[in-house]
Amino acid sequence: MIVSELRTAIEASLQAGKVIMDVYDTTFSVEIKDDKSPLTEADKRANDVINSFLIPTHIPIISEENKQTDYSERKNWSTCWVVDPVDGTKEFIKRNGEFTVNIALIQNGQPSLGVIYVPATKTLYYAKVDTNKAFKAELISHNVTVDEVLTLSRPLQPKGDNPNIVEVVGSRSHMNQDTLDFVDGLKADGKTVEIVSKGSSLKFCLVAEGKADVYPRYAPTMEWDTAAGHAICNAVGLKVISKETNKPLAYNKENLLNSYFLVSK
């Protein structure tokens, strides 16, 4: 049995993935937003599709591509959706396939479910946190039903401990000095460090499915970049801890910018 909100999020992500790939396969233009981040027709179309699924739930939405509701109203929301229609727009523009659709449901400041869809490979990750399980499904089409997704799903399992080798997730675009210092600290402890590079929220998925040990993110992110991955990691027993508060990343904050964080056991 799958709860209606998770079913809705999965359906929305698949249909968003379909319109994203329609744009991906064309010659598309790139706009630069006020915050200097890129925007394509795929972001806009995917956001419209996701809104068409989420608005009928009557749960308010925080999306990168929606006009943000003022905090004076948002602070009263106990539940909300947090959405990034295309996470990794830079990867989309580079056409390397490492971009995702992120949809999460937030309850009382923490993610309760998350969906990450990788349109280029038709790979879906999803979790409802309180079940303590997360899943990956490799699909043949964006048009599969949720029941078909469930049939194709396999549980995610983080890595077991290896006392000598630590696989660290590094960003293709954000490998900065703080991250290098983190790696140097592991080496100073006698660890052999291997760097695993991925774009977008796939970095969370690498840790959740046992392809890396730890993901240090010492560069800016927004809530919509992390909420879905946070849910998937929490569901398999991983922690997403703010380096500022030493507590789990929080959502629907007054400032939607995240602090630096670490994903680990």
At 184-239, the pLDDT tens digits run 999 999 999 999 988 889 999 999 999 999 999 998 999 999 999 999 999 999 99
Closest to 127 measured CA to CA, from 259, 249, 6, 19: 6
pLDDT at 172 over 60: no
Residues 80 and 127 in one domain: yes
Mean pLDDT across the stretch 48-76? Answer: 96
Q: Is residue 222 part of a domain?
A: yes
pLDDT at 147 over 60: yes
Mention every residue, 6+ apart, whose C-beta is less than 8 A from residue 169.
Answer: 195, 196, 197, 198, 203, 206, 207, 212, 214, 215, 216, 263
Q: What is the mean pLDDT of residues 147-170?
A: 92
| pLDDT cut 90: percent of the chain above it | 80
**Domain identity same for 186 and 144:** no
Q: What angle do CA 53, 57, 202 make, to 5 degrees?
A: 55
Q: What is the pLDDT of residue 25?
A: 84
Say whether both 57 and 171 belong to one domain. Answer: no
pTM over 0.85: yes
- Domain-ending residue, one of 128, 155, 182: 155
Cβ-proximal residues to 56 (8 Å cutoff; 6+ apart), any chain: none
Q: Please check the confidence at residue 34 and state whether its pLDDT lies above 70.
A: yes
Q: Which of 155, 177, 206 is the last residue of a domain?
A: 155
* Together in a domain, 22 and 148: yes
* Domain shared by 126 and 63, yes or no: yes
In a domain, 173, yes or no: yes
90 and 173 fall within a common domain: no
Q: CA geometry: angle at 206 spanning 205 and 211, to 5°?
A: 145
Q: Is residue 81 part of a domain?
A: yes
Same domain, 150 and 170: no
**Which of the two residues, 28 and 171, has the higher pLDDT score?**
28
Q: CATH number of the domain that 128 lies in?
A: 3.30.540.10
Question: What domain range is 207 assigned to?
Answer: 165-264
Instruction: Give the pLDDT band of residue 171 (cuts 50, 70, 90).
Output: low
Instruction: Tell which residue, 168, 231, 159, 170, has the closest CA to residue 198.
Output: 170
Instruction: Identify whether residues 145 and 176 lie together within a single domain.
Output: no
Same domain, 141 and 180: no
CATH number for the domain spanning 170: value is: 3.40.190.80
> Would you state the structure tokens that stand for residue 19, as one six-digit string?
């319109």
Q: Which residue has the tokens 């229609």?
A: 85
Number of domains in the chain: 2
| 64 within 8 A of 76, measured Cβ to Cβ | no
Same domain for 174 and 54: no
Q: What are phi and psi of 24, to 5 degrees?
A: -55, -35
For residues 257 and 178, state if they share a domain: yes
Domain C-terminal end among 137, 155, 173: 155
Predicted local confidence at residue 170, as pLDDT: 82
pLDDT tens for 77-107 read: 999 999 999 998 888 888 899 999 999 999 9
Is 160 inside a domain boundary?
Answer: no
Q: What percent of the chain has pLDDT over 70?
A: 97
pLDDT tens digits, residue range 242-254? 999 999 999 999 9
For residues 151 and 238, state if they share a domain.
Answer: no
Name the average pLDDT for the chain: 93
Using the predicted structure, report yes or no on whether residue 117 has a pLDDT greater than 90.
Answer: yes
- More confidently predicted of 124 and 195: 124
